[in-house]
């Protein structure tokens, strides 16, 4: 017999108040409620999860930059993510994904030992994919990246990595590296703010998600060196 297909059912709940809207997305044994929350300065999305097996509500850890919202629609894409489209703003800025069971979310759920969801920004058209340049220290990764950026300045970009080591002579913070304190960088890593990181000669090196997004937001291909 084949594997039983998971239950995918989408419900929409619109509350009567003009200042509040919620969407409930049912995925298997969980219901994800995406609703607007208000404070004095801004409107943001609040996330709650109903575990139908235990009939308990869970407030998950929410990673990623959260979209502001006045009104929105939510559609289940697959068992890994929910598409959220904001209303009343330009199409380019209106598309977001709530990751509920992607590999990244699974990893963070295991690290934190609790329920996790993550926001990610959607893009229209063909999304740029990062180029990974991998090799041991000293083989010329930086030289290759510099050559790509020189010959194709409008196509390739390079994000600045973070490190806990001290700056070397002529190194500039924010240009060659973001020089960070170890406790702060370890905290950011534990909170899922880094795409990758490594321990090298007693120091931490890593690429933050924000640094990658700053390049892709410019419409450029991200050059990502690995193995420092």
Higher-confidence position of 167 and 127: 167
pLDDT of the residue at 72: 75
pLDDT above 50 for 13: no
Q: What integer is the mean pLDDT of 61-90?
A: 81
Q: What is the DSSP string of 139-195?
A: SSHHHHHHHHHHH-TTTEE-PPPEESSPP-TT--BTTTBEE--HHHHHHHHHTT-EE
pLDDT above 80 for 21: no
Confidence category of residue 4, pLDDT binned at 50, 70, 90: very low
What pTM does this model have?
0.52
Classify strands 116-121 and 95-99 as parallel, antiparallel or unpaired: antiparallel
CATH annotation of 131-226: 3.40.50.300
pLDDT of the residue at 70: 61
pLDDT of the residue at 126: 60
Q: What integer is the mean pLDDT of 44-51?
A: 84
For residue 29, how far is the Cα from the chain centroid? 25
Q: Domain-by-domain residue ranges, the chain?
A: 8-121, 131-226
pLDDT above 50 for 41: no
pLDDT of the residue at 5: 28
Q: What integer is the mean pLDDT of 50-75?
A: 84
Distance set, CA 111 to CA 29, 118, 188, 205 (Å): 22, 14, 13, 19
pLDDT of the residue at 164: 96
Confidence category of residue 165, pLDDT binned at 50, 70, 90: very high
What CA–CA distance (Å, rounded) separates 167 from 145? 21
Candidate from 10-24, 30-44, 117-131 with smallest mean pLDDT: 10-24
């Amino acid at each position: 017999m084949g594997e039983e297909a998971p239950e995918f059912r989408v419900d929409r709940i619109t509350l009567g108040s003009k200042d509040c809207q919620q969407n409930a997305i049912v995925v298997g044994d969980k219901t994800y409620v995406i609703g607007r929350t208000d404070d004095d300065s801004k409107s943001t999305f609040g996330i709650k999860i109903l575990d139908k097996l235990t009939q308990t509500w869970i407030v998950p850890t929410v990673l990623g930059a959260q979209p502001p919202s006045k009104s929105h629609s939510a559609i289940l894409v697959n068992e890994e993510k929910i598409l959220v489209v904001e209303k009343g703003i330009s199409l380019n800025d209106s598309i977001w994904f709530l990751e509920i069971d992607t590999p990244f979310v699974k990893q963070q759920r295991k690290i934190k030992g609790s329920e996790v969801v993550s926001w990610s920004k959607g893009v229209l058209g063909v999304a740029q994919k990062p180029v990974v340049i991998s090799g041991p220290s000293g083989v010329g990764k930086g030289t290759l990246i510099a050559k790509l950026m020189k010959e194709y300045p409008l196509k390739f970009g390079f994000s600045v990595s973070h490190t806990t080591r001290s700056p070397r002579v002529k190194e500039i913070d924010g240009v060659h590296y973001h020089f960070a304190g170890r406790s702060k960088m370890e905290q950011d890593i534990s909170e899922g703010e880094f795409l990758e990181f490594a321990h090298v000669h007693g120091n931490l090196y890593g690429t933050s998600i924000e640094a990658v997004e700053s390049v892709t937001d410019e419409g450029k291909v991200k050059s990502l060196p690995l193995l420092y």
